[in-house]
Amino acid sequence: MFTKVKFVFSRKGAAIIARSTIGKIRGTYDQLSRTEKKVAQLALDNPAVVSEMTIKELAAASNVSTATISRFVKRMDYANYREFTMALAHTAAAMTPQQSSFPELAEGDSLATIANKTFRFSVNSLRATNDALNEDDLARAVLKIINAKTLAFFGLGGSSIAALDGYHKFLRTSLNVVYHPDYDIQLMQAAKMTADDCAIVISHSGRNHETLQIVRELTRNGVAIIVITSYSGSELAQAAAVTFLSLTDEVKYRSEGMYSLISQLTILDSLFMMTVLRISSRTQPVLTRVRDVIEHTRDES
């Protein structure tokens, strides 16, 4: 369902994969060792330069061993160093203003141009996120969801939008679902959950102190935790049974968290559709009743 990236591109495809490469590095940065971070930072700061280096030149420039670079390349899910430098070469091309399919927003842009660039950033975030999905993780997450006695959604701040959206969708299934926007109530809900339940926790940074407190309570109670975040090395991701990464790049005038929200919503959409199709016999009557109730209110209005 989700295929590996192949390095045969059109110009448009090259830019998409390029951003996916940057997203991979940023998404896993906190999980890297101290020496691997040196390589990662050099690649993030100077993709064009690094793409033209031999492995020995990069080792010298970052003051690490070639073995460290090989480990880093494997962590980024590339078969070898050559494949990695090819991806960086496409990154450099995509980040050149004259050739970029995803140029930065500029004050002099027309309104139509701003809209076009904004849509392209969003599409890029979705493609990078899709590229990072793993079918085994999806299968494990869906099993935990459909077997849960209670499915709870947790998210604070900007992530509360995604949590509410997930709750709103799964409310149409036969599952028992809960969500509340208030932190104290979320914490109380976490305290009441058990090992028979499942929690979907959403946080862009994975470092929100209140969210982490909720997760510690869930962990203490043995609850299966599914996490949606942009940083695989965060404490939140490490506490999860299954982690999905919403990958994006930060751009001028808009934080990366705003683009990751679109990816968070789409991950939840995917989990919802997979769940509905897996338990269609249980869910279809509920979907029908909910649809009928909503249609009835519309008729009356």
Residue pair 88/107 in contact (Cβ under 8 Å)? The answer is no
| Rounded Cα–Cα distance for residues 228 and 184 (Å) | 21
Domain 135-294 has CATH 3.40.50.620: no
Please indicate whether residue 219 or residue 258 has the higher confidence score (pLDDT).
219
Going 121 to 247 to 201 to 148, the CA torsion angle's sign is: positive
When pLDDT is averaged across residues 141-148 and rounded to a whole number, the result is 96
Q: What is the mean pLDDT of residues 200-220?
A: 95
Element holding 287 (H helix, E strand): helix 280-300
Which class does domain 11-101 fall in?
mainly alpha
**Nearest alpha-carbon partner for 224 in 171, 146, 296:** 146
Q: Which amino acid is at 110?
A: S
pLDDT tens, residue by residue, 55-92? 998 999 889 999 999 999 998 889 899 999 888 777 65
pLDDT digits (tens, 9 = 90+) for 152-179: 999 999 899 999 999 999 998 989 999 9
Report CA torsion sign: 280, 135, 7, 25.
positive
Q: For residues 165 and 181, is the Cβ–Cβ distance under 8 A?
A: no
Q: Does residue 3 surpass a pLDDT of 50?
A: no
Residue 224 pairs with which residues in a beta bridge?
198
What pLDDT, on the 0 to 100 scale, is given for residue 17? 42
Q: For the chain, what are the domain ranges? A: 11-101, 135-294
Six-digit token pair at 119?
A: 């849509």
Greater confidence (298 vs 124) lies with: 124
pLDDT band at 183 (very low <50, low <70, confident <90, very high): very high
Residue 221 DSSP symbol: T
User: What is the Cα–Cα distance from 41 to 218, expressed in whole angstroms?
Assistant: 34
| pLDDT (tens digit per residue) in 243-262 | 998 877 655 545 556 778 99
pLDDT at 145 (0 to 100): 97
In one-letter notation, the amino acid at residue 47 is P
What DSSP element (H or E) covers 242? strand 242-245
Highest average pLDDT, of 40-49, 226-235, 285-294, comes from 226-235
d(CA 121, CA 251): 9
Confidence at residue 16, expressed as pLDDT on a 0 to 100 scale: 39
The percentage of the chain sitting over the pLDDT mark of 90, rounded to a whole number, equals 45
Q: For 89-129, how does the pLDDT look when each residue is reduced to its tens digit (9 = 90+)?
A: 776 555 544 333 445 677 888 999 988 888 888 888 888 78
Of 115-119, 184-188, 223-227, where does mean pLDDT reach its minimum? Answer: 115-119
pLDDT at 194 over 90: yes
